[in-house]
Amino acid sequence: MIRIRVPATSANLGAGFDCLGLAVNLYNYMDMAESDSIEIASTDGTWVPTTKENMIYSSAEHLYRLCGKTLPGLRILQENNVPMTRGLGSSSACIIGGLVGANTLLGSPFSKAELVNIASGLEGHPDNTTPALLGGIVTSVLEGDKVYWVKQEVQNTLRLVAIIPDFKVSTEMARRVLPQEIAHQDARYNLARAALFSASLLQGKYENLKIAVGDRLHQPYRMPLIKHADEVFRFAYELGAYAVYISGAGPTMMAVVSGEDADFAPKLRSYLGKLELDGWGIRELSIDNVGTIVST
């Protein structure tokens, strides 16, 4: 039996819609072994599909097919720490876990670069799957069937604070609210800021990040799906956050703060209590530069 550890991911990072993403130190674990039957269970009480429709299993089966092999079955034990349908890459974690697990069981016929392409094909876009596999902050572009990507490691001098609402927003719903066309000036606005974000993060120019997460492509349309989002954004900036953005399709919001600011999360938690949002979660995180790992 092998154990796969896959990090949660935060995509878009404001202006980098469908192309920017980073991995964080919140992990799903999958114990996996070949079997004559399908045995799938959750070790933490989270409901998971126990048939071939399980995303970890179906991803593993897909890799076996690419190798011209039949998968008789798998034994999978899941530990689900990444909340589902919250904008933290839970589906990408399953896809990467299944692919990396199957690749390991088969003797690693595919390289990491090849797995990046396979994972993007399954997910439909590379902004979560690529950092989940590689770690760090990743800029990725899907051209045809190939992902062109750059991974950059970020020194953990920053703290990421995830504000996790107690309701779900499906990716399908979050994409339905987006316009089919945008103005040329809005495209220019986002292009400049997406470029500014990566460069500023890597060079420690954190004062740029508030401007760099500005967005006109998706966040203005998704904010109404997240009750109290405007208030949370405003208060996070009042507390001194460098940046605040909707993580992935939401509803999780991510604040980027100084690693030395130990008061940010407690004060934000107190503020949520005043809004009677005690069911919302606050999770302090850092950037994971390693990505998915396998152990035996």
**For 223-277, what is each residue's pLDDT tens digit?**
999 999 999 999 999 999 999 999 999 999 999 999 999 999 999 999 999 999 9
Q: What is the mean pLDDT of residues 101-117?
A: 97
Q: Which residue do the tokens 């062109």 mark?
A: 148
Cβ contact 49:168 at 8 Å: no
Q: Where are the domains of the chain?
A: 2-153+289-295, 158-285
User: Is residue 32 classed as helix, strand or coil in its secondary structure?
Assistant: strand
Q: How far is C-alpha 194 from the chain's CA centre?
A: 17
Summarize pLDDT for 282-293 with one digit per residue, the tens: 999 999 999 999
Q: Kindly tell me if the per-residue pLDDT of 85 is higher than 90.
A: no
**CATH number, domain 2-153+289-295:** 3.30.230.10
Q: Residue 134 phi/psi, 5° resolution? A: -100, -25
User: In this structure, which amino acid lies at residue 155?
Assistant: Q
Q: What is the dotted CATH code of the domain comprising 158-285? A: 3.30.70.890
The answer, yes or no, to whether residue 92 has pLDDT greater than 90, is yes
The answer to whether the predicted template modeling score (pTM) of the entire model surpasses 0.75 is: yes
Binned at pLDDT 50, 70 and 90, residue 173 comes out as confident
Residue 156: what pLDDT?
67
Over range 186-214, report the average pLDDT. Answer: 94
Q: Across all residues in the chain, what is the average pLDDT?
A: 95
97 has a pLDDT exceeding 70? yes
Q: Is the dihedral of CA 178, 181, 183, 187 positive or negative?
A: positive
Model confidence at 172, pLDDT cuts 50, 70, 90, reads confident
Whole-angstrom distance, CA of residue 261 vs CA of residue 240:
9
Residue 201 pLDDT = 86
